[in-house]
Amino acid sequence: MKILWIPHASWLNKIRQRSHYFIDRLKKKHEIHILVWTEPKGPKFRYFLNPSIHWKALQNWTKRENQIHLHHFRRLCLSRYNLLRKVNEKFFQHRVKEIVKKYRIDIIFCGSNYYLNGFPPFDLGIPVIFDYADYIGNQKTKEVYLKESEAVICASNVLHNDAQKYNKNCFYVPNGIDLHKFKKTNPERIRRKYRLDKEKIISLIGITCSESFYFLDSVQFIREAVSQVKFMVVGDSYLIPEMKKHVEKYRDDVIFTGWVDYNEIPDYFAASDVGTYPVEKNVYFDSACPIKVLEYTAAKKPVVSIELEELKLLGFKNIVFSEPNARDFAKNVIKAMNKTFNYPSLSEFDWEKLSQRVENIIYGQLPVK
């Protein structure tokens, strides 16, 4: 089958996203085409002052890479302005129609990228499946994706419950993990690398977090109860400089690793004594299925998070809920550090099984509206 996949974020920024995991597996049996675009990294205005970025963004090109056909479409980088987004939507839809016709595409998977590129064309005579990976705040935008698509795959129970109000062909396909990567890990390699002996490691792996940084402020309170402790921030983000400034007073207690290769990440989970998911309490995070919580669980580590709807529905016994403030977060990290947990089976969250579920949906011969 020939599949055109339109990710929810730029494929060229090399940030691993949900679609990567499905495509890595589907490409073994299907012809995969991916629509890609140029998008400046980070929020800094200096990226928009670079003429070469705008020149690259305005090119159409196609190439084959790792068994995948990549199709770049021209767009304007300042797309968050409504008028320019309408221009991008015309470029976007024209390119999709061109690819579908030229390569005889059988089915389209599309993530939520309206705020960047507008809506895909829904009238091409082939099924469009919407990948409902993150909550959409704008009601009109959400309704277009959910009502116009032939089917919806939902990354969480909360999103699945929401989508069923608008589309009868809704399927629960959560985020997952590469279980085989956690069968053999080397946590001691991480301890040697950062010269850690008996220190307890509290980690934030992947920089998804509250910008109030309450979890970093918790370090000073954890220090009062645990003398040998390090907070490890694993990954790269535009937030890192601000985070480093925030922990200036207790900088020696925090390790910033910078970017880490995906294949090395399981060792960091295994080296952790306590994992964290320190986000804000809002509808976006309530409806998310955080991969990092699954990965901490696969590594048999407790996770401290604020109380979120999807995490409550998952019901994992190794998740300790906290209020989003430094003192309570510290109290619950210490609690997690000293408690024994039962860990759930994650076989249903393996990317191989989830990809098979996506294939079953494809072969369900979805009707075209």
Pairwise CA distance, residues 218 & 226, whole Å: 12
- Give me the DSSP letters along 68-132: EEEEE----S-TTSHHHHHHHHHHHHHHHHHHHHHHT--EEEE-S-HHHH-PPPS-SSS-EEEEE
So what's the pLDDT on residue 71? 98
Residue 48: its pLDDT value, please? 64
| Whole-number Å distance between alpha carbons of 260 and 107 | 34
Average pLDDT over residues 283-298: 97
**pLDDT tens digit string along 242-259?**
999 999 888 889 999 999
Distance CA(134)–CA(155), nearest Å, equals 7
Q: How far apart are CA 368 and CA 126, in angstroms?
A: 6
Residues 153 and 207 in one domain: no
Question: Within this chain, do residues 183 and 172 fall inside the same structural domain, yes or no?
Answer: no
Residues 58 and 82 in one domain: yes
Residues 361, 167: Cα–Cα separation, whole Å: 15
In which band, very low, low, confident or very high, does the pLDDT at 52 lie, cut at 50, 70 and 90? confident
Q: Is the pLDDT of residue 367 over 60?
A: no
162 is a domain residue: yes
pLDDT for residue 21 is more than 90:
yes
Of residues 368 and 152, the one with the higher pLDDT is: 152
Residues 301-340: tens digit of each pLDDT: 999 999 999 999 999 999 999 999 999 999 999 999 999 9
Q: Could you tell me if residue 368 is inside a domain?
A: no
Inform me whether the pLDDT recorded for 365 exceeds 60.
Answer: no
- What is the average pLDDT score of the chain? 92
Query: Does residue 22 have a pLDDT over 70?
Result: yes
Full residue range of the structural domain in which residue 144 is found: 2-176+350-362
Question: What total number of domains does the chain contain?
Answer: 2
- pLDDT over 80 at 30, yes or no: yes
Q: Do 202 and 234 contact (CB within 8 A), yes or no?
A: no
Q: Which residue has the tokens 């704008």?
A: 138
Average pLDDT over residues 160-171: 96
**One domain, residues 75 and 120:** yes
Euclidean distance between CA atoms 115 and 125, whole angstroms? 25
- Confidence check: pLDDT of 63 > 70: yes
Tell me the CATH number at 234.
3.40.50.2000
Question: Both 158 and 115 in a single domain?
Answer: yes
Residue 369 within a domain: no
As a whole number of Å, the CA-based R_g of the chain is 22
pLDDT at 44 over 80: no
Same domain, 245 and 259: yes
Q: Are residues 166 and 194 in the same domain?
A: no
Residues 209, 270, single domain; the answer is yes
In a domain, 189, yes or no: yes
At 178-233, the pLDDT tens digits run 999 999 999 999 999 999 999 999 999 999 999 999 999 999 999 999 989 999 99
| Same domain flag for 186 and 170 | no
